[in-house]
Amino acid sequence: MAFDLRESILQAIGSNYELHAKHVNPQFARVLKTIGYDHVYVRAQGPYLWDDAGRQYLDFLSGYAVCNMGRNHPIIRKALADYLSLDFPSMVQFEAPLLSGMLASELKRRTNRPDDCVFFSNSGTEGIEAAIKFAKCATGRPGIIAAQKAFHGLTTGALSINGCESFTSGFGPHMPGARSIPFDDLRALRNELARGDVAAFIVEPIQGKGVNIPSPGYLVEAARLCRQQGALFVADEVQTGVGRTGSFLAIDQESVGGEGVNPDMIVMSKALSGGYVPVGAVLTRRSVWSKVFSSMDRAIVHSSTFHQGSLAMVAGLASLAVYDEERLDENARRMGEILLQGLDALRGRFEFIREVRGRGLMLAVEFGEPRSLSLKAGWKIVQAMDRNLFAQAVVIPLMADHRILCQVAGHNQAVVKLIPPLCISEADVAWFLRSFEEVMVRLHRFPGPAFDVLKRLGSNTIGSRERDIDGAIASVSGPSLVVPVNGPVNGPVNGPAIGQV
Ligand SMILES: Cc1ncc(COP(=O)(O)O)c(C=O)c1O
> Relative to the CA of 240, which ligand 1 atom is closest?
1
What residues does CATH 3.40.640.10 cover in the chain? 76-325
For residue 239, the CA-to-ligand 1 centroid distance in Å is: 7
Q: Residue 364: what are its φ and ψ, rounded to 5°?
A: -145, 145
The strand pair at 198-203 and 265-268 is best described as unpaired
Q: Which residues contact ligand 1 via a Cβ below 6 A?
A: 64, 123-125, 128, 151-153, 204, 208, 236, 238-239, 269, 470
Q: How far apart are CA 140 and CA 158, in angstroms?
A: 19
What does the pLDDT read at residue 460?
60
Helix/strand/coil for 274 = coil
| Spatial CB neighbours of 109, under 8 Å, sequence gap ≥ 6 | none
**Residue 492 confidence (pLDDT) above 50:** no
Q: How far apart are CA 334 and CA 336, in angstroms?
A: 5
Q: How far apart are CA 260 and CA 112, in angstroms?
A: 12
pLDDT, greater one: 462 or 78: 78
Choose which residue among 66, 67, 151, 209 to substitute to test ligand 1 binding: the one with the highest number of ligand atoms within 8 A of its C-beta.
151
For residue 500, the CA-to-ligand 1 centroid distance in Å is: 32
**Residue 463 confidence (pLDDT) above 50:** no
Name the residue with the closest Cα to ligand 1, atom 6: 153
Average pLDDT over residues 389-395: 92
Which ranges in 260-372 belong to alpha helices (H)?
Answer: 286-292, 310-325, 328-349
For residue 167, the CA-to-ligand 1 centroid distance in Å is: 13
pLDDT level of residue 229 (50, 70, 90 thresholds): very high
pLDDT, greater one: 165 or 478: 165
Q: How far apart are CA 128 and CA 154, in angstroms?
A: 10
What does the pLDDT read at residue 388?
86
Which ranges in 140-214 belong to alpha helices (H)?
Answer: 156-160, 165-168, 186-193
What does the pLDDT read at residue 269?
98
For residue 22, the CA-to-ligand 1 centroid distance in Å is: 27
Average pLDDT over residues 220-239: 98
Burial of 304 (0-12, 13-18, 19+ CB in 10 A): middle
For residue 182, the CA-to-ligand 1 centroid distance in Å is: 19
pLDDT level of residue 473 (50, 70, 90 thresholds): very low
**Residue 461 confidence (pLDDT) above 60:** no
Residue 39 CB-half CA count within 13 A: 19
User: Active-site positions?
Assistant: 151, 236, 270
> Relative to the CA of 280, which ligand 1 atom is closest?
10
pLDDT level of residue 89 (50, 70, 90 thresholds): very high
> Relative to the CA of 126, which ligand 1 atom is closest?
11
Residues 15-26 have pLDDT tens digits of 999 999 999 999
What does the pLDDT read at residue 499?
35
Residues 333-379 have pLDDT tens digits of 999 999 999 999 999 999 999 999 999 999 999 999 999 998 999 89
What does the pLDDT read at residue 446?
83
Average pLDDT over residues 70-86: 98
Q: How far apart are CA 452 and CA 306, in angstroms?
A: 50
**Residue 250 confidence (pLDDT) above 70:** yes
Helix/strand/coil for 416 = strand
Residues 159-207 have pLDDT tens digits of 999 999 999 999 999 999 999 999 999 999 999 999 999 999 999 999 9
Residues 45-77 have pLDDT tens digits of 999 999 999 999 999 999 999 999 999 999 999
Judge contact between 241 and 270, C-beta under 8 A. yes
Residues 311-334 have pLDDT tens digits of 999 999 999 999 999 999 999 999
> Relative to the CA of 154, which ligand 1 atom is closest?
11
Host H or E run for residue 27 = helix 26-34
Judge contact between 279 and 273, C-beta under 8 A. yes
The strand pair at 415-418 and 407-408 is best described as antiparallel
Name the residue with the closest Cα to ligand 1, atom 16: 239
What residues does CATH 3.90.1150.10 cover in the chain? 20-69+328-500
- Regarding the domain delimited by 20-69+328-500, which CATH topology (the fold level of the hierarchy) does it fall under? Aspartate Aminotransferase, domain 1 (3.90.1150)
**Residue 419 confidence (pLDDT) above 60:** yes
Choose which residue among 120, 122, 125 to substitute to test ligand 1 binding: the one with the highest number of ligand atoms within 8 A of its C-beta.
125
Helix/strand/coil for 341 = helix
Q: Helices 186-193 and 218-228, interaxial angle, to 10°?
A: 10
Class of the CATH-defined domain 76-325: alpha beta
Q: How far apart are CA 253 and CA 246, in angstroms?
A: 9
Helix/strand/coil for 325 = helix
> Relative to the CA of 123, which ligand 1 atom is closest?
10
Choose which residue among 126, 152, 209, 306 to substitute to test ligand 1 binding: the one with the highest number of ligand atoms within 8 A of its C-beta.
152
Provide the β-strand partners of residue 57: 49
Q: Residue 198: what are its φ and ψ, rounded to 5°?
A: -90, 120
Q: Helices 310-325 and 74-85, interaxial angle, to 10°?
A: 150
Name the residue with the closest Cα to ligand 1, atom 10: 124
**Residue 482 confidence (pLDDT) above 60:** no
pLDDT, greater one: 472 or 53: 53
Name the residue with the closest Cα to ligand 1, atom 13: 153
Report the residue count for the chain.
501
For residue 484, the CA-to-ligand 1 centroid distance in Å is: 33
Q: How far apart are CA 242 and CA 61, in angstroms?
A: 16
For residue 350, the CA-to-ligand 1 centroid distance in Å is: 33
Average pLDDT over residues 427-455: 90
**Residue 468 confidence (pLDDT) above 50:** no
What is the rounded (10 degree) CA torsion for 299, 305, 310, 313?
-70
Choose which residue among 269, 417, 419, 470 to substitute to test ligand 1 binding: the one with the highest number of ligand atoms within 8 A of its C-beta.
269
Percent of the chain with pLDDT over 70: 91
Name the residue with the closest Cα to ligand 1, atom 7: 124
Q: Which of 254, 184, 192, 253 is nearest to 220 (CA)?
A: 254
Q: Report pTM.
A: 0.92
Q: Which residues of 467-485 are buried (b: 16+ CB within 10 A; e: fewer)?
A: ebebbbbbbbbbeebebee
Host H or E run for residue 143 = strand 143-147
Q: 10 Å Cβ neighbour count for 289?
A: 20
CA 163, chain centre distance (Å): 15
For residue 472, the CA-to-ligand 1 centroid distance in Å is: 13
